[in-house]
Structure 1
């Protein structure tokens, strides 16, 4: 299967994940819709740039983040559109993923007060399951920076949760 075919075939499978990431970044339904739509359009336009056999989700997240940083954040965020409750818009797309979505909702609720850099690292590592190296590559920072952001976020989330502890723990081999 060529890169264009692989992108077309796999794009719909990642729509709910793109939506969650867009909501996490923007906190706004309208902006998230625009981000996902622009991501899909750009992915289809540049499908020949996708390397077959690599992770499509990482490539799509990178496109979405690039659009967010370069276009949307600079213009639309200043319009003061209302916030969206991230948990209310999470889509459960199968019984096998229900537990992951519950955890995602809990993390999203608890991490809204984190600084943006920590919030994005937590989302990518713990909600989307990217490795520290993958998060570092996507955010274009050193792995140590990702680890530091995650450690600071876990400490803050644990302090807020009291005796509940952090919502997710680092796993070996990350």
Structure 2
């Protein structure tokens, strides 16, 4: 196994997992599971093929399995004592507001749209590579990406209260340009 090549993929895997899952701890667990699975099934990777795409495929399949099994398990009731946790609760900086809003809106996208949007925009993968990773046609990738961008724009324009913000109605939206 070529460790430096595998190690070079870890930052991209972590970035994608954090955007996909939304929780840093769960994202790190997903990356760890992905690397364990990749190491245990290293014989399945074909030398000369795109290692990055193979690792993202492994991660996608693991995440899909985790989501599927979570739906089948009964939900555990976790209660948090807010009074005991009050000293640890800190409001985010005002500058972080839009980043948190973007994260909230990303998590509200349907899973299949969010996955495609993150792979194309965050990981800068081509439509063909995303189609191979998700095992779907390239046209489906483009369709899901278009719907994800439109829905994300709607969610961001709506603001936290669900109403269109005043700033979006007075200023024209910047035009999106095709990247690939």
Would you say same fold, with TM above 0.5?
A: yes
Q: How big is each residue's C-alpha offset from its partner over 1:23-53, in whole Å with a ceiling of 9 and x where there is no partner?
A: 2222222321221111111111222222222
Larger deviation: 154-163 or 128-137? 154-163
Q: How big is each residue's C-alpha offset from its partner over 1:56-77, in whole Å with a ceiling of 9 and x where there is no partner?
A: 111111111111112x223458
Residues 28-43 of structure 1: pairs in structure 2 closer than 5 A = 28-43=23-38
Structure with bigger gyration radius: 2
Contact 2:16 2:122 in 1 (8 A): no
Match of residue 57 from structure 2: 62
* Deviation, structure 1 residue 113: 2.9
What CA RMSD, in Å, does the superposition of the two structures yield over aligned residues?
Answer: 2.8
Unaligned runs of 5+ in 1: 82-87, 89-104
Match of residue 165 from structure 1: 174
The alpha-carbon distance between structure 1 residues 156 and 165, as it changes in their structure 2 partners (threshold 3 A), is farther
* Deviation, structure 1 residue 153: 2.0
Could you state the TM-score of these two structures normalised by the residue count of structure 2?
0.66
Work out the number of aligned pairs and report it: 143
Contact 1:107 1:127 in 2 (8 A): no
The alpha-carbon distance between structure 1 residues 80 and 125, as it changes in their structure 2 partners (threshold 3 A), is farther
Could you state the TM-score of these two structures normalised by the residue count of structure 1?
0.68
* Deviation, structure 1 residue 108: 5.5
Contact 2:116 2:130 in 1 (8 A): yes
Residues 1-174 of structure 1: pairs in structure 2 closer than 5 A = 4-5=1-2, 8-70=3-65, 72-75=66-69, 78=75, 109=103, 111-159=106-154, 160-161=156-157, 162=168, 163-165=172-174, 169-171=177-179, 174=180
Unaligned runs of 5+ in 2: 79-91, 93-98, 158-167
